[in-house]
Amino acid sequence: MPTYIYKAMDQAGKSARGQIEALNDVDLELRLKRIGLDLVTFRPAAMHTYFFRRHRVSLQELAMFCFQMEQLTAAGVPLLAGLMDVRSSTSNPHFQAVIGALVTSVEGGKLLSQALAEYPHIFNRVFVSLVRAGEQTGHIPEIFQHLTSTLKWQDELMAHTKKLLAYPLFVLVVVLGATVFLMAYLVPQMVTFLGNMGQELPLQTRMIIAISHAVVNYWWLMIAIPAVLVLLLIAAMGFSPQMRYRVDWVKLHLPVTGNILNKIILARFSRYFALMYQTGIPVLDGIRHCEGVVGNHVIAEALNQAWQQISAGTSMSDSFRNVALFPPLVVRMIRVGEQTGGLDRALLNISYFYDRDVNESIEKMLNMIEPVLTVVLGVILAFIMFAVLGPVYDAFGQLGI
């Protein structure tokens, strides 16, 4: 079905723009009429434009969507009217088009969960399953409230992770730029000067000169080789599940960041799993849905093994212990929850445990990485300056004699 970019007017005379799928221009006008819009102009959307825009729905926009739906449904506003109001208040053109398509699908007789499932790049399986559970139990406002808090938590977690990486990357870029400047401009001039002096150069200076020669004459190769290797790795991960598994395994076993990444993934799993169990979704279905949420093939494979063991009759605590998914403390919390009948409280406690653990780990990493990285990079620059300027001072000393 082709996609059209449209400009329309609502009943209040407010302009609206977006994208929507339709069979033809007549079908486009009818679809817009159903969501309270009058078509003004339209044009077919290019395939590349749709491809690049289709994933651009941020966590903040998705959390705001859930918050607005929770407020409207809790106030007794009908679902269709609520979706129309949310569509009008959304500034993202693509998200407007998606919500408009949701209105069309719901108006055509589909459940909201069925309409959401048609856009898996925005609403994942866990999101759809939670909405479906809310439809079955009649607790849609509560489901959207839980989703709002979970999406906000995930967005804050991503913000902490970006903060963890921002400072090291900034310092690395600055020092790399300074190093390239020294190698490409300063060192060659010093080489000419020292060559005229006829002085024997120390080992560290000869190493710096060799690196400078490589930077000046083979800079394109230094850029091309890493780029080609990254592209080959991405291609291999796209075609080989074994390669994706190995890369994810390496991520979890990196010296410094691996442990934090593992905690972040388990925090995400425990948060969503606790939410699904609390809303009445069975354990096996919840684990199966979470396999696509964790974003790591190693953890997803461990969840699959746990799912198989639980299906075979093993308790959840023993299954998680057998696949070494959680530390002993968390396994013990799950076992106590199973024995006391308070598994939902145990899962929420696990979520709280990992929330605090992840935040504390990131704060410790931030406090540690700044001075360590500054010292390491300062030593690198000091070595370069010593290797370059040391022979110069020696040459001046000989001239003084």
Same domain flag for 85 and 10: no
Classify residue 327: in a domain, yes or no.
yes
65 with 35, same domain: the answer is no
- Whether 144 and 245 share a structural domain: no
Which CATH number do you get for residue 272? 1.20.81.30
Instruction: Return the structure tokens found at 256.
Output: 């410094």
Higher pLDDT pick, 17 / 54: 17
Between 339 and 6, residue with greater pLDDT: 339
Residue 292 lies in a domain: yes
Residue 23: pLDDT band (50, 70, 90) is: low
25 and 124 inside one domain: no
386 and 331 in a common domain:
yes
pLDDT of residue 64: 92
CA 97 to chain centre: 23
Contact 7, 17 (CB under 8 A): yes
Task: pLDDT band for 53, please (50, 70, 90 cuts).
Answer: very low
In a domain, 246, yes or no: yes
The residue that leads in pLDDT, 349 or 198, is: 349
Average pLDDT over residues 72-90: 87
What's at 25, amino acid-wise?
D
- Give the pLDDT of residue 49: 47
Check pLDDT > 50 for residue 48: no
Residue 141 forms part of a structural domain: yes
Q: What is the pLDDT of residues 279-324, one digit of tens each?
A: 888 888 888 888 878 888 899 999 999 999 999 988 888 998 998 8
Same domain, yes or no, for 69 and 28? no
User: Per-residue pLDDT for 45 more than 90?
Assistant: no
* 68 confidence band (pLDDT: 50, 70, 90): very high
> 51: pLDDT confidence band, cut at 50, 70 and 90?
very low
Domain-located, residue 192: no
- Pair 11, 88 in one domain: no
Tell the burial category of 133 from Cβ atoms under 10 Å away from its Cβ (0-12, 13-18, 19+): buried
Domain limit, last residue, from 152, 182, 215? 152
pLDDT exceeds cutoff 70 at 50: no
Would you say residue 398 has pLDDT above 60?
yes
258 and 395 belong to one structural domain = yes
Which of the residue ranges 78-92, 242-256, 378-392 would you say has the lowest mean pLDDT?
378-392
pLDDT band at 329 (very low <50, low <70, confident <90, very high): confident
Span 123-146, pLDDT tens digits? 888 888 889 888 888 888 988 998
Last residue in a domain, options 97, 117, 152 = 152
SS (H, E, C) 281-309: CCHHHHHHHHCCCCCCHHHHHHHHHHHHH
Whether the per-residue pLDDT at 347 is higher than 50: the answer is yes
Residue 224 lies in a domain: no
Confidence of residue 257 (pLDDT cuts 50, 70, 90): confident
Res. 229 pLDDT band, cuts 50 70 90: very high
Q: What local confidence, expressed as pLDDT, does residue 400 receive?
A: 54
- pLDDT, one tens digit per residue, over 103-115 is 888 888 889 999 8
pLDDT confidence band for 256 (50 / 70 / 90): confident
CA dist., res. 263 & res. 163, Å (int): 17
Give me the chain's average pLDDT, please. Answer: 81
Domain that holds residue 142: 59-152
Q: Comparing 12 with 196, which gets the higher pLDDT?
A: 12
Query: What does the pLDDT average to over 163-177?
Result: 75
Between these two residues, 281 and 67, which has the higher pLDDT value?
Answer: 67
> In whole angstroms, what is the distance from residue 177 CA to residue 381 CA?
11
Examine the domain organization and report whether 263 and 347 are in the same domain: yes
pLDDT at position 1 is 58
Given 137, 152, 167, the domain boundary residue is: 152
What local confidence, expressed as pLDDT, does residue 15 receive? 78
What whole-number distance in Å separates Cα of residue 201 and Cα of residue 389?
11
Interval 180-228: pLDDT, tens: 887 888 778 777 776 666 667 778 878 888 888 888 888 888 889 989 9
Q: Verify that 300 and 275 share a domain, yes or no.
A: yes
Total number of domains in the chain: 3
Rounded to 5°, angle at Cα 379 from 179 and 175: 30
In SS3 terms, 166-225 reads as HHHHHHHHHHHHHHHHHHHHHHHHHHHHHHHHCCCCCHHHHHHHHHHHHHHHHHHHHHHH
Same domain, 247 and 356: yes
Domain membership of residue 90 (yes or no) is: yes
Vertex 143: Cα angle to 140 and 147 (nearest 5): 140
Phi and psi at residue 119, to the nearest 5°: -130, 70
Among 43-52, 171-180, 192-201, 372-381, the minimum mean pLDDT is found in 43-52
Supply the pLDDT for residue 255: 80
Kindly state the percentage of the chain with pLDDT values over 70: 92
Residues 106, 27, single domain; the answer is no
Q: Is residue 332 part of a domain?
A: yes
